[in-house]
Each structure stands twice: as structure tokens, then as C-alpha cells.
Amino acid sequence: MRTRLVGSSPRGPRHAVPALLLAALPLTACGESAPSGGDFKPNGSLSSAVPTAAPPPSAIPTEQIDKTVLERYHEYQTVYQRAYEANDPAELGTVAVDPLLSRVTGDIERTKARGELWRFTNVSNAKVYARSKDGLIVYVVDCLRTVGGYRFSAKTGKRLSGGAGKAYLHRAAVRYGAGTWKVSETNRDKQC
């Protein structure tokens, strides 16, 4: 990211009046009709409950993490399918992060611009096969079989192409951040 330099505006009497008005605004906007004597008297209440963050992955048993990661991966596959069927990538942000999110969003937008949409059915057989040393990335391998995939015209609904699919080995990175697991990368490998 490049820094953009912006020159300062000339100062003069014409700029002093708006600055003074702007500085006086907070004093008049928050004033009371009766003097408070300088006492701090909040009118809200403070909750005694301490907010708790989601526990980091290192504090959770491995089996539970694997189960959660696989659930999130399957949720990603479901949302991915819905996004292509509707030509709407809006929901993808709930299950994916960049760089995958940008790549899939761009592909859906290009498909929509061509006036097409995809309908397909996948069968997943996902398993956890590795994790990063810090435990914040879990790697999933999946022999993902496309039972059928069809391209349709969004305008007429007419089927343009498609048919029976094949099974390919997919590898996915599921990353922990902001208290949740999201798919950050996928790669299609050889047939399985």
C-alpha cells in the first residue's frame, strides 16, 4: 500500500471561523440547563459479567477441534453450492476468508456477468490430515465427487452444458480467527 501525501491548506482568518465553531460545538451540544457542580453522574448501569472470548484452539481437545473443523468445512461446501446456484456470493463470508473468499466471489461474479448459473451436487468424504504447529490452521483432505453439474442460462433457465462429474482429491486449509474456523484455501489435486 502506498502512502499518499496531501498538502496542507492555507491558514487564514477565513479558516478560523469554521474551526472555532467546530470546537465550540461539543461544549454546546452536551450542556445541561442546571449546573452539575462537576460531579460525574452516569445514568446507565454496569454489568458485572466479564465478557469471555472463545477459547483458543490450544485449550480444546484435538478430537473436538477436528469435529468442529469438519463441520465448518461441510458448511463451507453447502454455502459454496448455494452461492453458485443463486449467483450471490454474499453468504460466503460466513464460512470463508481470503484468499479463497476473493477468488470464489470473483468467479461467481464473472459467471453472473455471462448470464449463467451453476447447479451441482457434490458428495464429500472429508478427513483432517494435518495441522499447523500453532494449531490455528487445520488441513482437510476430501475425495469430493461431483455427482452432476449443469450450467444454465440465468435468463431462460435453459440448460447449456453439464453432465455427470468426476471425483477429485481436494485439500483445504481451515483457519481459526476471530473465534471461528473458516476455509482460507482449497486446491484440487488428482482424481480419486
Q: Which long-range contacts (CB under 8 A, 24 or more apart) does 98-105 make?
A: 98/184, 99/184, 99/185, 100/183, 100/184, 100/185, 100/186, 104/80
pLDDT tens digits for 117-135? Answer: 999 999 999 999 999 999 9
The enclosing H or E element of 26 equals: helix 13-29
Structural contact between residues 169 and 148, judged by C-beta atoms closer than 8 angstroms: no
Whether residue 186 is contained in a domain is answered as yes
Whether residue 45 is contained in a domain is answered as no
Mean local confidence (pLDDT), 97-102: 97
d(CA 54, CA 181): 11
Nearest Cα to Cα of residue 91 among 128, 99, 101, 18: 101
Say whether pTM exceeds 0.75.
no
pLDDT given for residue 30 in this prediction: 47
Mean local confidence (pLDDT), 56-81: 93
Q: What is the CATH number of the domain that holds 160?
A: 3.10.450.240
pLDDT at 192 over 80: yes
Mean local confidence (pLDDT), 99-127: 95
How many folded domains does the chain comprise? 1
Query: What would the grid cell of residue 41 be?
Result: 453522574
Whether residue 4 is contained in a domain is answered as no
Domain that holds residue 163: 59-191
Q: Worst-scoring range by mean pLDDT, 15-24, 41-50, 84-93, 136-145?
A: 15-24
Higher per-residue pLDDT: 42 or 2: 42
In the chain, the amino acid numbered 86 is: A
pLDDT given for residue 21 in this prediction: 38
Sign of CA dihedral 28, 29, 35, 41: negative
pLDDT given for residue 48 in this prediction: 54
